[in-house]
Amino acid sequence: MEDARAYEELRVGFTAAVSHELRTPLARLLALLETASLPDVDRDQLLLDAREQVEQMTELVDDVLFLSELESGREVVALGRTPALAVLQDVRDRFVESAERADVAIAVDSEPTVELPLRRRMLDVVVENLVENAIRYAGPGSTVTLSARPGVLEAADDGRGVSEDELPRLFERFYRGDRARASRGTGLGLAIVKHVVVSAGGEVEAAGGPGRGLQIRCHFPVSESPA
């Protein structure tokens, strides 16, 4: 009974949060459409701005559906093991252009033999969200280093960092600090990272501070070598 009540409270709260997050881009889109009827407006720019708002809503819906998929049990998170290096390199290559636009460099540091206890798709999702978070918030001139070693996946940047009182809240759904609220992020990226890692039996932690960058570490159970 207590579990059912707690789940219902979580569901209601999550639904309210999603509704709140969708209102902002919807309001902006409505304002753009109303502006389009005015004389002497730059309609090409309005279309670009409207597309950006639609893309933001699409990203939010995709993230919400992915979390729902994980929570419903339809997606097996930990199924076998995946060599980390190829995934880190693949994600780096996919995000190199957006990273360059943000003046953020991406480095990879892992031995070829390191494996992590996640399906490839799940590992890819985790690394993608870690990279996107760094690109959005680390700041110009920074470098994010993706590293893997037995039982640990880390994304560490040398950017502007966050206040220490924000660190425990970074993995909350829809949480964004004062600086992050100006970003197009959905506020779900690190929540997804935490959900995947915890579902695989691991845990996550954040470290850093203002001017000291941000380090996100994902710890996984390490299989014992056979005797």
131, 140, 157, 163 from 145: Cα distances, Å: 9, 15, 6, 20
93, 150, 152, 219, 221 from 224: Cα distances, Å: 33, 11, 15, 15, 9
29, 55, 84, 147, 187 from 103: Cα distances, Å: 29, 22, 25, 20, 22
Q: What amino acid is encoded at 121 in this protein?
A: R
124: how many CB neighbours lie within 10 A of its CB? 17
pLDDT tens by residue, the chain, 227 residues: 554 554 455 454 455 555 655 666 677 777 877 887 778 778 788 788 888 777 767 766 766 666 666 665 545 555 678 999 999 999 999 999 999 999 999 999 999 999 999 888 889 889 999 999 999 999 999 999 999 999 999 999 999 998 888 888 888 876 655 444 444 555 678 888 888 888 888 999 999 999 899 999 999 988 654 44
Structural domains of the chain in order of their starting residue, each with its CATH number: 2-72 (1.10.287.130), 82-219 (3.30.565.10)
Q: What amino acid is encoded at 164 in this protein?
A: E
Three-state DSSP class for residue 205: strand
Taking the complete model, does pTM exceed 0.75, yes or no?
no
